[in-house]
Amino acid sequence: MPFELTPAEEMSRKIAREYCEKYIIPRRKELMTDDREMWDEEARRQTRAGLHLHIVPREEGGTGIGYVASCITIEELCAAWPDLAFAIYGEFAYYFAKRCGGAVAEKYMPGIIKGDILATPAITEPSGGSDMLGLQGTAKKVDGGWVLNGRKCFQSEGHYCDFVMALFKTGDPNDPKTPGARSLTAFIVDREFDGFRVSRLENTLGRKGDLTEFVFDNVFVPDNFVVGEERGIGRGLGPVFSAVGDIGRMTICGMLNGITLGSYRTAVRYARERKLYGRPISELQMIQARIAQMTVDLEASRALTYRAAWLRTKGIRADAEQATAKNYAEKAAVRCAEHCVKIHGGYGVVEDYMPHHYYRHAPMRFGAGGTEESLSIMIANAALRDDANPDLSSKSMEQAGWWGQLDW
Amino acid sequence: MMEPLNIVVCIKPVPDSRYWDRLSLDPNTKVLRREGIPIVISPLDRNAIEEALRIREAMGGKVTVISMGPPNTVEILAWAYALGVDDAVLLTDRAFAGADTLATASALASGIRKIGDYDLVLLGNESLDGSTGQVGPQVAEFLGIPHVTGVEKIDFIVDGRLRVRSKIEFGYMVIETGLPVTLAVTREINDPRVPPVFGALWATEKEAKQWTADDVDVDRATIGLDGSPTYVPEVANIEVQRRGEVLEGEPAEIARQLLEKLRADGVLPDA
């Protein structure tokens, strides 16, 4: 693996950084007061600026630079403000439309490339998200399509999205005809479909109205909006897992690394400026120790993330690597946000300063893209397989089996 | 009639203001120590590029940027490519080194003549570091074309004529001129764009042309140190010392003391 970013990847960081310096950083004061207008503006601006297009091949209207550029872009956005990364939902929209093809791609793809359309997965229910076979939402076959009923919760920024990819039960996991995961099907649901609505916005550690709950009340979805159409019935887990891995987990790594990077930059700058005992606190070894630990975390977390993203850019499945990266990135972000708060002393917890916000937002990413526990299972499964070779670095889950065996 | 225009934009590399806390002056050479400080396009030159891109978007044509400097100046030309310019030229040669504004303008003008067939030359009204505001008019003189400085708005460009607004103290002048012309623009003229994401491809897939003094038709006596009639005899850091003084007493008494001191120092007129 080459241990350097390509010139185009380096340049995409500079472009993302300049975007943040123009649109986000000067408006941090508004963000600190939960001013909705800022989010409403930003919701479309990022995708209209094309910040979601790095994962889209050039022949389809994207930059084609790849997943590393995507992670870098989101890292810069979240270093500027820890949860202002709407590019993610443009990426989801592209990923869904690309995988579905047919009527779904026809309807959404032009708008997705222009940056007008956002989407999000809808998996987690009030009863939980990790145990997918325990999902309660149901889909019933009717003439020409399916009727969905259920609730999906904790979807970030769902109220800004134009459509969702929702996982519903089309069979009974205990029925031999639809065993286990064969009971699950993924559907594309447009926000204009009758019976679909955003039922509530949750106030979170991050900000007010951050997470969304969707209600599906007898929502009719035509057959050609079933992911994979007829062949996709009972094969919903594959596309959902791929999306949660490739887009969800990778972009969450970007967000977490953004918190780590933002904490690092803020702390380093402050340590050089703040004087105590007549000299900058950066000369105190206790502060230096914290800066050193933050540097190690930033470097390690980026390395894991970029490697997983690099594998995906090469077209290699990297479920275990993505899981490893996210598992590490979330701990690194929490640690670094804490260092940042502590280096700032009393100012660290005051709402008017950034350490407060990095610290508050880091836990917002614990569940998204897989909990630490479920990711640990994936990582352990990959490591403990009979043909796993501990002398080599981790192999992709495709070789390791498990989710990789589920096709589209 | 709107005809496509060939626009040349002169851009200058300046130290990135994000790192100004690391800048210092070399007491012997009187030159800024720039080691390790990244370079960026001088901010008003960003406005000039933006205006050129907007004119191209409205009328068609071609935008070429030109700069003079050491080989690492290609970094800012890459950034110009990221912004969407069609072509970029770097004048780089030891013979160009040590230039003051006049020698810089001579070199730039020779490069612009080699690019040829230009309708409009744009540049920032002054640079972030030198701030002399001389290069625009000097380039125009070397090219033998008119110039307008302090341009805050281009009203129209029609049939080879254009009308601009030039900022002056307490107002502006409206000036009409023919093409070709050199315009030195101010920050009021536009709000420069962030490079589009595709800029990451343009910046890395296009390569700036690099011309030496031999590649352009220029009198050697007018470039570099030899072509520079001015030099910097002295530069100094200005250090402002604060004078801490504590006034004591009741608020009314403190206020009276403060007024007296301000009058004594000539800050306020005598009572």
| pLDDT at residue number A387 | 66
| Residue of B71, B68, B91, B94 whose CA lies nearest to B11 | B68
Distance CA A243, CA A312 (A): 12
Q: What is the mean pLDDT of each run of 10 residues along chain A (408 residues)?
A: 86 96 92 78 91 95 95 97 93 93 94 96 84 86 95 90 94 87 93 93 84 94 93 89 88 97 97 93 97 98 94 85 94 98 96 95 89 89 73 51 38
Is the model's pLDDT at B205 over the cut of 50? Answer: yes
- In terms of pLDDT, which residue wins out, A128 or B210? B210
B82: which chain A residues are within 8 Å (Cβ-Cβ)?
11, 14-15
At residue B32, what is the residue type?
L
Cα of B125 to nearest chain A Cα, Å: 22
Residue of A82, A32, A26 lying closest to A350 (CA atoms)? A32
Which of A40, A35, A47, A39 minimizes the C-alpha distance to A74?
Answer: A47
In angstroms, the separation between the Cα of residue B203 and the nearest Cα of chain A is: 8
d(CA A390, CA A176): 37
How far CA B19 is from CA of A139, A353, B37, B151, B169, in Å, comes to 58, 22, 6, 29, 32
Q: Give CA separation, B200 vs A62, A202, B10, B203, in Å.
A: 12, 37, 22, 5
Contact assignment for A12 to B197 by CB distance below 8 Å: yes
Q: What is the pLDDT of residue A407?
A: 37
For chain B, say whether A6 makes contact (Cβ under 8 Å): yes
* Percentage of chain B exceeding pLDDT 90: 75
Q: Which residues of A touch B199 (CB under 8 A)?
A: 11, 15
Nearest-10 crossing angle of helices B43-59, B74-83: 40
Closest to A63 measured CA to CA, from A17, A120, A12: A12
CB contact under 8 A, B197 and A50: yes
Residues of chain A with CATH 1.20.140.10: 239-405
Per DSSP (E only), the strands in A41-169 are 119-122, 138-142, 145-156, 163-169
Q: Judge whether residue B83 has pLDDT over 60.
A: yes
Chain A CB contacts of B195 below 8 Å: 15, 18
pLDDT over threshold 80, residue B238: no
- Tokens of residue B254, six digits: 């403190």
Give the residue range(s) of CATH 2.40.110.10 domains in chain A. 119-235
pLDDT at B10 over 50: yes
What is the structure's pLDDT at A201?
A: 87
Could A63 and B78 be called an inter-chain contact, meaning their C-beta atoms sit closer than 8 Å? no
> Distance (Å) from the C-alpha of residue A7 to the closest C-alpha of chain B?
6
CATH 1.20.140.10 given to domain A239-405: yes
Give pLDDT tens digits for B47-67.
999 999 999 999 999 999 999
What is the rounded distance in angstroms from the CA atom of residue A194 to the CA atom of residue A42? 28
- Output b/e per residue, A115-125; b: 16+ Cβ within 10 A: bebbbbbbbbb
The alpha-carbon gap from B12 to the nearest alpha carbon of chain A, in Å, equals 19
Answer with the residue of higher pLDDT: B78 or A244.
B78
Residue A246 gets which letter from DSSP?
A: I
Specify the higher pLDDT residue, A104 or B270. Answer: A104
Tokens 């989101």: give the residue. A74
Helix (H, G, I), strand (E, B) or coil at B154: strand
Question: How many Cα atoms are found within 13 Å in the side-chain-facing hemisphere of A309?
Answer: 31
Interface of B with A (CB under 8 A): 78-79, 82, 194-201, 203-204
A114 touches chain B (CB under 8 A): no
Q: Compute the distance between CA of residue A274 and CA of residue B116 in angstroms, rounded to an integer.
A: 54
pLDDT greater at residue B239 or residue A219: A219
Residue A241: predicted pLDDT: 84
Nearest neighbour of A63 by CB, restricted to B78, B194, B201: B201
Those residues whose C-beta lies under 8 Å from the C-beta of residue B40, and which sit 6 or more positions away, are B13, B14, B15, B16, B17, B76, B79
pLDDT over 90 (residue B141)? yes
CATH class of A119-235: mainly beta
pLDDT per residue as tens digits for the range B88-106: 999 999 999 989 999 999 9
Coil vs helix vs strand at A192 = coil
Residues of B in contact with A7 (CB under 8 A): 203-204
With a CB-CB cutoff of 8 Å, which residues 18-77 of chain A face chain B? Answer: 18-19, 22-23, 49-51, 53-54, 58, 63, 65, 69, 73
Quote the pLDDT of residue A43.
86
Q: Does domain A7-114 have CATH number 1.10.540.10?
A: yes
* Closest to B150 measured CA to CA, from B129, B132, B133, B131: B133
Model pTM score: 0.89
Tell me if B200 and A11 make a contact (CB, 8 A cut-off): yes
Question: Which residue in the set B79, B194, B203 is minimally distant from A19, CB to CB?
Answer: B194
Q: Which residue has the higher pLDDT, A228 or B36?
A: A228
Question: Which amino acid appears at position A226 of this protein?
Answer: V
All CATH 1.10.540.10 domain ranges in chain A, comma separated: 7-114
Asked if A15 and B194 come within 8 Å (Cβ–Cβ), the reply is: yes
